[in-house]
Chains A and B, each alone.
Chain A
């Protein structure tokens, strides 16, 4: 890996790590009487750990000149491994919090870190940012190079993006265990982690644009638009929602600049668009590349991809206020959120339809190939979840579903059925070629993973649908005399069987992820196939006449 860098680049990498390490030391010193001190120390240790292999290989032979003729796959390989590590961690914590909801007495120590309130964000951040984010970075680098027929525009930069991003995730998750949080859902990390992410993310954006500018294909493939929308909008969301004033440079705590209902609106404008651009747009980028690639079919409709892209990009921006129905938020803002959410269904289904119709002529492959089946089911769940989302955004429906487990069911139809399945399908598609193997170590294990994931998701989602609707109904049932029929506790008692079912479904999903990780590990350890099965068009191949 380091061998791909010239001596100069190795020096640059060390300088960057030195600066980051020094910044960590400064934070640590300033915050030595605060929880911030631990994070300063963590940054120093992290930089040192990353610097170690670079220092070791400082005098290793330099790369040959023609590396520009090859795709830059080292950061992608590391990205895939990190994706799977975060998947196992995040989903393990998911099963843990699910078990705590069913059996609260399992809280095994009275240490604060082991409490539900700290574990839950460790789960959400672990899966969304750790697992999802690394998968997005890795696949975007892969798709970008292949569809542009160009090597990434930078040798150290891709590493900076990948490793820097993981430092952010690490600060986030360790922060929760320590008790550091901004208390904004999906935006919990504190100001210094937020600032660091801005630097990393802007670098990511510039890298993406510079690589696109080098492309040797005349047109930009639609997957890249989605990845770009993901990068640009997440930057905007993160910066606007993250505006906060630290109480001092030596403290981890900061206060957001917004207050009251403005704060709520900004947070859910952020929150909903994080779903839209992090968990949807980026993963649609994956879908648009790996699904046709694996099915070996052309995209059903170029025009449909275009109107879906602009429809999704435009309409999502308005939808956030559907998270705040029946609150202090003015009624008119709720109306706009609701109506745009309803219209959003059309481009969403158009995307799902475009993906499924692409499979025409390849359905026999869907039957035989679990990898392609992962992606097919992902498209189906994408359709189910977006339909459900538009439905839940209707005020009258929301009055039943809000604050209940229905939301959790909806989230996980998307998270397990769509996000995780499209990721696994994509990873199985390109892992063999990435490591120059003919195929995955075991196709049977891919099959096992598929069924664990599908059955786990179905159990989880059905349990939460049931539980959510029962909760919602119990909370709004009145006696003839005009008093509530059920106490909150009775609704909790009614939830218990569903919480057990959810834990079992989640456990199955988690086992699937562990099986997948093992399979990927064994594939990496396997022997190189004589002819790498990549089938990629090489970088910078001159255009054939007529192209």
Chain B
């Protein structure tokens, strides 16, 4: 027979069992435990009565409130669509200058453009749009194809070197493949470096063959990059004399660009983003580079 003992600390009796020195008190289940068991069971029962809950063969109890997650989500989507309906129609149809003249629409462009840009573009162009090697800086005010909303909208729609049948095509040919030899490429590099803005690490090499470089440039490159090397937006050929570089401006970078060629890949968004979203982004991208907007105003 088990011997029950009194526990001096609690004043309770043990059950009399002993497992390697471990004993148990015979304390009754505290009232609060029973209380909360009942409360949670009641809560559950009420919840089961109100909501879809128990299976009944091929169907289930639907609940008095008639709530169902599928209809809830469909309704939420409809409510959201209604909330966006008016301004979405305006952004989709109004000309860009009219949208820009409407502060309340531009506020929406700013807010949702920021999110759209973060979710779709920032992985390549950076969260603030300033780009990195191979991915253009969209805040510099210097453009390959152009920074006005219409042009950006088209760039977004079809992409660059993308899978879109109407895609923009921009290929810097590989002149190292038999068109120019190493000395000739080095000479063109010298020509570019000694004329470009903002290059402050000019060395001895850069002084060699600048004249030849100019000749070679005029023959091989001007067709795309322009006589003055200021680029050509028709072809997406960058300005070679400004201080902004897609692939870098030191001698090795330039040598590689000219010798091996370049073709950046910008995805097409026609299949991924709606027209409204692309138009928001077109305006948003424009707003990243205030310089371009000012320039455009000056011209007029």
Contact = CB atoms under 8 A, between A and B. Distances in A.
A218 B19 CA distance: 10
B243 interface: no
Given A304-B30, A346-B33, A481-B108, A293 B22 contact: yes
A483 B44 contact: no
A326 B27 contact: no
A487 B20 contact: no
- Of the candidates A298, A342, A484, the one having the most CB atoms from chain B within 10 angstroms of its own CB is A298
A219 B15 CA distance: 11
B122 A483 contact: no
Interface string B242-278: 0000000000000000000000000000000000000
Contact of A299 (B22, B47, B84, B87): B22
B115 interface: yes
A487 B84 contact: no
Nearest to A490: B118
Contacts of A11: none
Interface in B15-55: 15, 17-30, 33, 36-37, 40-41, 43-44, 47-48, 51-55
Closest 4 CB pairs of A and B: A487-B118, A361-B9, A301-B27, A483-B112
Contacts, number: 166
B1 interface: yes
B3 A298 contact: no
Contacts of B150: none
A303 B29 contact: yes
A489 B118 contact: yes
A343 B44 contact: yes
Interface in A251-300: 289, 292-293, 296-300
Interface string A503-547: 000000000000000000000000000000001110000000011
A515 to B, nearest CB: 29
B52 A331 contact: yes
Contact of A302 (B27, B37, B108, B122): B27
B194 interface: no
- Of the candidates A292, A346, A486, A537, the one having the most CB atoms from chain B within 10 angstroms of its own CB is A346
A546 B29 CA distance: 28
B244 to A, nearest CB: 24
7 contacts: A219-B19, A222-B24, A335-B53, A350-B29, A487-B122, A536-B20, A537-B20
Interface residues of A, number: 59
Contacts of B29: 301, 303-304, 307, 350
B145 interface: no
A332 B58 CA distance: 13
A334 B69 contact: yes
A481 B84 contact: yes
B80 interface: yes
B51 A485 contact: no
Contacts of B47: 335, 338-339
A303 B114 CA distance: 60
A481 B87 contact: yes
A489 B7 CA distance: 61
A335 B21 contact: no
A305 B112 contact: no
Given A336-B53, A361-B10, A487-B119, 18 more contacts: A147-B22, A217-B17, A217-B19, A301-B29, A332-B52, A332-B61, A342-B43, A343-B44, A346-B36, A350-B29, A481-B108, A484-B112, A487-B114, A487-B118, A488-B119, A489-B127, A547-B1, A547-B2
Nearest to B20: A146
A535 B67 CA distance: 61
B19 A339 contact: no
A224 to B, nearest CB: 9
B23 A479 contact: no
B180 to A, nearest CB: 34
B111 interface: yes
Nearest to A336: B53
B53 A303 contact: no
A487 B1 contact: no
Contacts of B10: 300, 360-361
